[in-house]
Amino acid sequence: MTDQRNFPILVVDDEEEILFTTSVTLRSAGFSRVLTEGDSRRVMETLARQEVALILLDLYMPHLPGYDLLREIAANHPEIPVIVVTAANEAEMAVECMKGGAFDYFVKPVEPPRLLATVRRALEMHSLRSQVNSLSSRLLTGELRNPEAFAPIITRSPKMRAIFQYLEAVAGSDQPLLITGETGVGKELVARTAHDVSGRSGPFVAVNIAGLDDMVFSDTLFGHRRGAFTGADQQREGLIARAAGGTLFLDEIGDLPPPSSQVKLLRLLQEQEYYPLGSDTPSRSAARVIVATNRNLNAMMTEGSFRKDLYYRLNAHRVQIPPLRERREDIPLLAEHFFREAAASLSRPKPTVPPELAGYLGTYGFPGNIRELRAMVFDAMARHDRGVLSLAGFREAIGSQCRPTAASPLPFLQGLRAGNSPPAGPIPTLKEAEEALIAHALRIANGNQGIAAAHLGITRQALNKRLSRKTAER
């Protein structure tokens, strides 16, 4: 887990008093790893052996002047932002420092709120830059560092694979994550996976905020002190405190009522602090916030029902979960998974599923997405008694518009699977067997190549290559 307050900050100044007061200011604001250096000649050696996320640099120092050191840092460690803090109020020097790579320029004495605001911005830029580099590396290698963390998400979709790579790249960020997608696509499961990948030691705490008014929202998230309102006989810890060191997941964020609740959430995200009801003293937040919605937040901003500043703060990282109709290759996998799950929950053996079912499911739009598919399977299992599974429940749920072509099994393969002798006649060549299997899978899938590829246990791209090769040979 990476938290801005855990990033190491190096303060370089030849005055011991400045080193002490700046260190106290940073530590009081929650930045726990503050390093100090009074000799500018030792800074590059420190950077070679110690990770540093930000440097506060005095300009006029003996031995190695701050401007020369700034250029050396920019040349050898361009990923580290440098804030110049100097007693010299020289516009020309300020311009030169900015050209030389400084993130910002302050004249002493600096008001602590201004300095801390800039420190937070610089660390945020450092964090985002690191995440971009990490994401670029993931996309180039195409590998996942923690594939086991994504195991609960049943998929072979390239779109979902890209989302996994992105989640790994931003896993360590303390910035909010916005998850969007239609109802039933599995947004909470993705949020839980993002928490697992992050390696955070704290818990995953989820709350659906739809229907919460401002008072209940504040009490649920921030808690209250005893006597805060009528009936508050005991102090209550809010969910943000319960999620300390972990993740707070706010589902249905598009239903958060304006304006008061949205302002309170914005303050939490900006300042990492909040006020429990009945308290005049702010509490620090130590949880990452992940939010999800199936609503169009852009349209809500336009109509004025969702604050723009809150939207942009929530949108630091974002994933859009594709609907099931855009990842049809996952339908057979999900159906098989739900059949096993339903059989276990009902203490029944998994039934024989007719091949026509894949055709029905493959041609349906699934407005309820994965949740709808799961409900269909569980309903079919509840109705099932014995033998081959009946498709009646699926026909009722899907409607009459989907009529897949029935596909009889391949006699040669059926004989092998049953352990019987294959039908008389010559054994087909590998090429003939492959073509027959592909044709059979396409019939079952009603021509949908994604579903056919899933039946064959190969990717859609691999199936396309085989089909293209077959066309070229004709």
CATH architecture, range 327-398: Orthogonal Bundle (1.10)
Return the sign of the alpha-carbon dihedral for residues 50, 52, 56, 61.
Answer: positive
**4-128 maps to which CATH number?**
3.40.50.2300
Between CA 266 and CA 271 the distance in angstroms is 8
The DSSP code sequence of 237-305 is: E-HHHHTTTSEEEEE-GGGPPTTHHHHHHHHHHHHSEE--BT-SS-EE---EEEEEESS-HHHHHHHTS
Burial of 362 (0-12, 13-18, 19+ CB in 10 A): buried
The tokens for 32 are 């726990």
Q: Where in the chain is the domain with CATH 3.40.50.300?
A: 142-322
pLDDT at 410 (0 to 100): 59
Nearest partner of 179 among 197, 196, 167, 169, judged by Cα: 167
Burial of 384 (0-12, 13-18, 19+ CB in 10 A): buried
**411-473 maps to which CATH number?**
1.10.10.60
pLDDT at 206 (0 to 100): 95
3-state helix, strand, coil in the chain (%, to 5): 50, 10, 35
pLDDT at 412 (0 to 100): 59
The tokens for 255 are 């239903």
Return the sign of the alpha-carbon dihedral for residues 22, 26, 32, 33.
Answer: negative
Q: Where in the chain is the domain with CATH 3.40.50.2300?
A: 4-128
Residue 439 one-letter amino acid: A
The tokens for 297 are 């937040």
Between CA 440 and CA 181 the distance in angstroms is 34
The DSSP code sequence of 344-411 is: HHHT-PPPBPPTHHHHHHHT---TTHHHHHHHHHHHHHHH--SSBPPSHHHHHHH-TT--PPP-PPPH
The DSSP code sequence of 412-429 is: HHHHHHTTSPPPSSPPPP
Separation of first and last alpha carbons in the chain? 56
Who's near 359: CB < 8 A, 6+ residues apart?
402, 404, 405, 407, 444, 445, 446
CATH number for the 142-322 domain, one of 3.40.50.300, 3.30.470.20, 3.10.290.10, 3.40.50.2300? 3.40.50.300
Q: Where in the chain is the domain with CATH 1.10.8.60?
A: 327-398
The tokens for 142 are 């195409």
Per run of 10 residues, the mean pLDDT along the chain (length 474 residues) is 73 92 91 92 92 92 89 89 86 86 89 91 83 62 80 92 89 90 96 93 93 88 84 84 94 89 91 86 89 94 91 92 92 93 91 82 88 94 86 78 49 55 66 83 74 75 83 71
Long-range contacts of residues 263-271, Cβ cutoff 8 Å, at least 24 apart:
263/307, 264/217, 264/218, 264/221, 264/222, 265/221, 265/310, 266/307, 266/309, 266/310, 266/313, 268/221, 268/240, 269/176, 269/310, 269/313, 269/314, 270/313
pLDDT at 199 (0 to 100): 87
Nearest partner of 379 among 389, 387, 388, judged by Cα: 389
Instruction: Give me the helix-helix angle, 158-169 and 187-198, nearest 10°.
Output: 40
